[in-house]
Amino acid sequence: MNSNNRKKNIRKRGIKEKSDNSNTISKSSRLLFFMILIVVLLTSLVLRIGWLQFIKGPSLKEAATKQQTTSRIISPSRGSIYDSTGKPLAISAKVDTVTINPQKFIVEDSQEQTSELQTKVAKAFSEIFELDYDDVFKKVTSTNSVQTIAKKVEEDKINKLKEWMDENEIYSGINIDTDTKRYYYYNNLASNLIGFCGDDNQGLAGIEYYWNSVLTGTPGKITTAQDAAQDIISNENENYIPPQNGSNITLTIDYNIQTIAEKYLKQAVADNQCNRGGNIIVMDPSTGDILAMASYPDYDLNQPFTPNSTLAKNWDTLSSSSKSTALQNMWKNPAVTNTYEPGSVFKVLVSAIALEENIVETDTPGIFSCIGYQDIYGTKIKCAKTSGHGYQSLREALEHSCNPAFMQLGAKIGKETLYKYFDAFGLFSKTGIATAGEAVGTFHELDKLGPVELATTSFGQRFTITPLQMISSVCAIANDGILMQPRIVKSIENTDTNTITTIEPKQVRQVISSETAEQVRSMMESVVVEGGGKYGQVSGYNVGGKTGTSEPPPGREEEGYVASFLAIAPVENTKVAVLLTLYDPAENNNYGGQIAAPVVAQVLSEVLPYMEIPSNNSTITTTPTDTYNSLQTSKMPDVRNKTIAQAKKILEDSGFKCDTTSNDDSIVSEQVPKPGTDLLKGAVAKLYTSKNSESISVEVPNLKGLTAVKAKNTLLTNNLNVKIVGNGKVVSQDPIAGTNVEEGSVITITLQDELDSGSH
């Protein structure tokens, strides 16, 4: 091999060696790069893991927990409300709320199948829960995660839903959650006092609102795990926080007394065409306990957003804002939230002030003079008796309700002294009753109380107070001069521990001496026995009272007159006080002595025996001076468990008639009226057997103004019986006109002689 070839081979070899060396270096570089890259990646991964584990770990854990857990609120049971005898007035029962997750269970393979299922579900919901189909369909086809279908659903409808779910094999996407619903046992009873709850079980009015924090309790919660599909995962670490149920409260009102008061209030409003309704308060002066408090028109607590019969008359003509205002007014408790001019009832307080200050004595003759009006610096203020009452003592002035006499008395007392006692009687401040919306009266400022203002104030006009303030102040007189704070809640029961907290009666202050209080009570009794309150008499009991009739303020004549009557009974050791207030009665008769007093007498005639207060004589029923000899009474015999034939003979021998559709061999299982009922001769007894037990209902006719004979004949025509109390013409009846009762039922009518219209 020549030299040239060797050189070539050497160059080639060198080039190759250089090339091999270069390739070796290149491979090494790449390997080193990958190694470094791996190290960097591993280092980054370790750092990332460390960052996530140690730095972000707690927050990520919290976020994961939130995604994997679900919480459900458990509603507490709202406390119940009871009357003083233990009768439930408001309770909370377990119900259910139904919601759906539309996008979770109403999704099929095709749009057509999905639409069919949506229609099917919407139809089922609308039928089971009696809802509008179109509204339900919108919810079923909604893109929202949750839609509420029905709230406060009773058990029977929930059972229907569960049956439908089983039949259609739908087990997810429909949620049934336990909730509570407020029920009011007696619908309208004490509605304006008790108030009601909203859908969230929060009190919106009355006792329910004022005592909401005590009644409502604290919600509980269940926290558990769920998977990515939002299905519940069995978890031993499920967290359950039980709800704390609300406390029960017991009111001072008595169901029976409340029922009596409402019955006669409704009758009075209807009979006297009171355009602005009325209210009544029954109170125990010694404790301040409210035994009954009612307003009429009232409303149904189970349907509080439904207008009552009064509002319904022109409901459709009202605007949205007017409807809202009307409902707010319907829910109010006028005895507490509204003020009024008390009129002549207020003269009781002015009399007490004058006696306490030794300005006058009860029976000093001729210290007041009435010529039919009083001239106050050129302003003539009339008396109800325009011919005048002449010279009078304080007792006579109160009996006659003489405005001029009390204008003279007010001037003798002086405005500073009057206002000092008004404050002591609690008229310048709220009473502190534990319910919502209490108002306070409005008076002239002392430095602006001129002679005319002093005169009108002295007989109860041109200032305002609440009915509750009025009766509370007079209860101080009935309670030997001691003012008590009105009490409406008697006790609170913790339903979890069963511990009971009693709310004791609260004495506010001694306003007048017991001697003065006794003198005023004596004059109040004279008002009922001799004066304008004669219609307030209750046979067998000593009753004290005062009538009231106030005119509307100038410029507000459309409000009409206010007629009222306040009574205490018995006069000594008084157990009960009643104030009835009627707003805007018919113009032809708006005197409190004529339209309010007989109603209060009816209330007392039932309340006093119910409270087991002894009467002064053995009977409260008097035989009317009527020539019709069949007004004699006899007791209904017991003919139950006898044949119809035997029963007929027994009844006829006792002077009664018999009415039945059963044959003579059938056995009497029930009779109306009940055995032992004191009835007029000729009364009708309805007899029923086990095979013929369906009673017939009749409507009670209006008997007001009729004589005893005419009232009896009218009732007998309707197969109804009668019990007569008093003399004269019918002033009230129980049950009231328009009530549906069973044939043979006893209607009690109260008769009284007409009263002199000079008293008010």
**Which residues, listed in sequence order, are joined to residue 685 by a DSSP beta bridge?**
658
Three-class DSSP category at 75: coil
Output the CA angle 540-543-547, nearest 5 degrees: 140
Name, in order, each residue with C-beta under 8 angstroms of 373's C-beta and a sequence gap of 6 or more: 380, 381, 382, 383, 386, 388, 404
Please state the φ and ψ torsions of residue 689, each to the nearest 5 degrees.
-120, 170
Query: Which is nearest to 679 in space by CA: 711, 633, 717, 648?
Result: 633
Range list of β-strands (E), 163-210:
174-184
pLDDT given for residue 239 in this prediction: 73
Q: Which two tokens stand for residue 314?
A: 């022109």
pLDDT given for residue 428 in this prediction: 97
Please state the φ and ψ torsions of residue 223, each to the nearest 5 degrees.
-115, 125
pLDDT given for residue 220 in this prediction: 77
Query: Which is nearest to 651 in space by CA: 670, 663, 638?
Result: 638
CB contact at 8 A, 126 and 136: yes
pLDDT given for residue 371 in this prediction: 97
Q: How many helices (H) and strands (E) does the chain have?
A: 24, 32
Q: Which two tokens stand for residue 322?
A: 């007017």
Max distance between CA atoms of the chain, in angstroms, equals 176
- The H or E element containing residue 100 is strand 88-100
pLDDT given for residue 105 in this prediction: 59
pLDDT given for residue 223 in this prediction: 64
Range list of β-strands (E), 460-584:
482-484, 489-493, 500-502, 507-510, 544-550, 562-569, 576-583
| Residue 637: cis peptide before it, omega within 30 degrees of 0 | no
Q: Which two tokens stand for residue 444?
A: 């002239």
Amino acid at 284: D
Name, in order, each residue with C-beta under 8 angstroms of 633's C-beta and a sequence gap of 6 or more: 621, 623, 678, 679, 680, 681
Total Cβ atoms within 10 A of residue 330 = 21
pLDDT given for residue 72 in this prediction: 62
Three-class DSSP category at 264: helix
Round the average pLDDT of the chain to a whole number and report it. 86
Give the separation between CA 750 and CA 756, rounded to whole angstroms.
19
Give the separation between CA 229 and CA 475, rounded to whole angstroms.
69
CB-side neighbour CA atoms (13 Å) of 522: 13
Q: Which residues of the chain have pLDDT under 50?
A: 228-232, 618-630, 756-757
Please state the φ and ψ torsions of residue 355, each to the nearest 5 degrees.
-70, -40
Give the separation between CA 169 and CA 171, rounded to whole angstroms.
6
C-alpha dist (Å) from residue 342 to 313, 442, 463: 30, 12, 8
Query: Which is nearest to 296 in space by CA: 271, 318, 314?
Result: 271
First-to-last alpha carbon distance for the chain, in angstroms, is: 159
Please state the φ and ψ torsions of residue 555, each to the nearest 5 degrees.
85, -5
Give the separation between CA 712 and CA 613, rounded to whole angstroms.
30
